[in-house]
Amino acid sequence: MSKIRKILKLYSQQRPLMSIAAQVDASRNTVKKYVSAFKASGCTFEEVNSLNDKELEDFFGKTREQAPSSRMQSMLRCFPHVDKELKRTGMTRYMLWEAYIKEFPDGYRYSQFCFYYNQWKARVNPTMHMDHKAGDKLYVDFAGEKMNLTDKDTGEIISVEVFVAILGASQLTYAEAVMSQQKEDFIAACENTLHFIGGVPAAIVPDNLKAAVTKSSRYEPTLNETFEDFAEHYGTTILPARAYRPRDKALVEGAVKILYSKVYAPLNKQTYHSLADLNAAIWEALEVHNTQFLKGRNYSRRLQFEEVERHTLTPLPVMRYQFKQHFYAKVIKNGHVNLGPDKHYYSVPYRYIGKRVKLLYSRTTVEIFSNYERIALHKRNKNPYGYTTDKEHLATTHRFKADWSPDMFLDWAASIHEDVRLYILKILDRKQHPEQAYKSCLGVLGFAKKAGNERLIVACQRALSYGIYNYKTIQTILENNMDSYEESLFADELPMPSHNNIRGDYK
C-alpha cells in the first residue's frame, strides 16, 4: 500500500509517469493503471491519502483484479484432468503439457504451465508441512513397480516386490527386494531396516496392507497380530496411515519415486539370478544415494542421520525377532494337542482336555494359549507323530506311570533291601524289553505294603535260592507257609515254577 501512496503523491506533484516508475521501482503500465484509477475516482490526493491500508486496498482492489483471459481459462480447465492423469504410473507433466499445447497451439509454454499448475494445486488441494522429530517415525511401504529376477536354468522372469523405508528427520533410506508382500517377507524387511539403521524409532508408519493392518479404520484400525507382536518385541508402536491418504506417508512416497531413477533405472539394465545378488546391487546403489549431498545443502542423508538422529533411536534388543505363526487345535484325551504343520504332539495341563487352544509357534518354540493365558511352553520338535511331554502337565496317576523306568524300580527295591533290589534286577533281565517287566516289578514291590517289608525280603531271598524270578513266585511264597511250600516243591505236590509255566506279567 505504501507504494500506491508514493505513486499518487508523485503524480499529485505532477511528475512524469516514467520518472514515477523509476522512483518506485515499478513498471510504467503499473503506474499508469493506478493513476487511471485515481482519475476515475474523482477524489483528491488528500482524500485518498487519508484512507488506511485496508480501505486503500478495497479502493484499488477491483482495479488490480482482472478477469482471466480466454487463454488462461482454457489452461485452467485442463488442470483437473492433469491432476488426475499425474497419478498414473509413468505419467509426467511434460507429457501432459505436450497434449495441452497440441490442443491449444497458442497456449502457455512449459515453464508457465508448471507455474500456474502449482498455484492451482496449492489453492484447490492445500497441503500441510510436517516437521519430523529425530527418532520419531519410520515410514515403510512397497514400491508400485516390481523388479525382476531371471531363472538361470529356464530363463523364466520372476517378479519381486521392493520394500522401501525412510526415517522422517534425516531421510535415511533403506530398500530391499522380497518375494512377496506377505507378512513373513514384510516383517523380515522391517526387521532388516531396524538393523540397518542400528536402532528402533518411536513408531513405524505402514500402509494399510494386510500384512500390517487386518482391518483399516479411520479411528481404530485393527493391527495384524503378528506385526503387533513384532512391534512389542522391538519396543515400538505401529501408526498406520489413513487408507487412501498417501500424504500421511509422503516421505516414503517421495523416496519410492527417487528410487525409480536412482536404483530401478541402472539395475533394470542388468540381469540377476538370485534375490541375494539383486539386493547386493540395490544396497550398493542405495549407499550412493544416502551419501550424496542433498540439493542445495552441504550434507547428505547419512551425515544428517549420524549427527541428528542416530543417538535418538532406542537400542536394538539382544535377540532378533522370531516370526510366529498361529494354529488352533483341540486337546485330545491323553492331554496333548497336535501341531498340524509338524504332526507333533505337545502336552498341556490335563484340566484343559477337550478344550480348543491356540498354538503360537516360531522356529524354535511352541507356546499354547487358552483364553489369552499361556498354559504351556515347549521347544519345537518337528519329529512327525512324536510326543513332547511335560510331566507337570499330567494327572497324578499318569505322572507316576510316566516315571516308570528300570532305575526307578531298582531304587525303590533298594530302599527296602539289597536282596529285593537283586530280585527286581533278575526280573528286568529276563525280559527282552524292560517295559515288559514293569508290571511284574510293580506287583512284587507292592507286597511291601500288603505283607510288610520283612516278609517281602524273606520271600525274595527264598525265590533267589530257587532261581525263579517272577511275580507269581513271590505271591505263592507269601500266601503259603514257607515250610509247606518247600515240601510241596520237592514232593511235586505243587508244580515247580519255571520259565515255561510261570509268567512275569501278572497284574
Tell me the whole-structure pTM to 2 decimals.
Answer: 0.51
Residue with cell 501432459: 96
Which triple of cell numbers denotes residue 430? 529276563
CB-facing half-sphere around the CA of 401: CA atoms within 13 A: 6
33: phi then psi, degrees, rounded to nearest 5? -65, -45
| CA distances to 202, 252, 486 from 242, in Å | 19, 14, 94
Instruction: Give me the pLDDT at residue 177, please.
Output: 92
* Residue count of the chain: 507
Which triple of cell numbers denotes residue 124? 484447490
Contacts of 16 by beta carbon, 8 Å cutoff, 6+ apart: none
Q: Quickly list DSSP for 241-267.
A: PPTT-GGGGHHHHHHHHHHIIIIIHHH
Instruction: Give me the pLDDT at residue 498, please.
Output: 43
Instruction: Give me the pLDDT at residue 9, please.
Output: 82
Instruction: Check: CB of residue 504 under 8 Å from CB of residue 437.
Output: yes
Per-residue pLDDT of the chain (507 residues; tens, 9 = 90+): 567 778 888 888 888 888 888 887 788 888 888 888 878 777 777 777 777 776 776 676 644 445 567 888 888 888 888 877 776 667 788 999 999 999 998 889 999 899 888 888 777 655 544 556 788 888 888 888 889 988 888 888 889 999 999 988 888 999 999 998 888 889 999 999 999 999 999 889 888 777 778 776 666 777 878 888 888 889 998 888 766 555 556 677 778 888 888 888 888 888 888 899 999 999 999 999 889 887 766 778 888 888 888 888 999 998 888 888 889 999 988 788 999 888 899 989 888 888 999 998 887 889 999 988 899 999 888 888 888 888 777 665 554 455 567 777 788 888 888 888 888 888 877 765 555 677 788 888 888 877 888 888 888 888 888 787 887 888 888 877 444 444 444 444 444 444 443 334 433
Cα gap 488→483, rounded to integer Å: 9
Cα gap 187→189, rounded to integer Å: 5
309: phi then psi, degrees, rounded to nearest 5? -110, -30
Cα gap 313→197, rounded to integer Å: 9
Neighbours of 370 (CB within 10 A): 17
Cα gap 470→498, rounded to integer Å: 9
Edge to edge, what strands does the sheet with 344-347 contain? 336-339, 344-347, 387-388
Q: Determine the 3-state secondary structure of 451 from DSSP.
A: coil
Burial class of residue 376, CB neighbours in 10 A (0-12, 13-18, 19+): buried
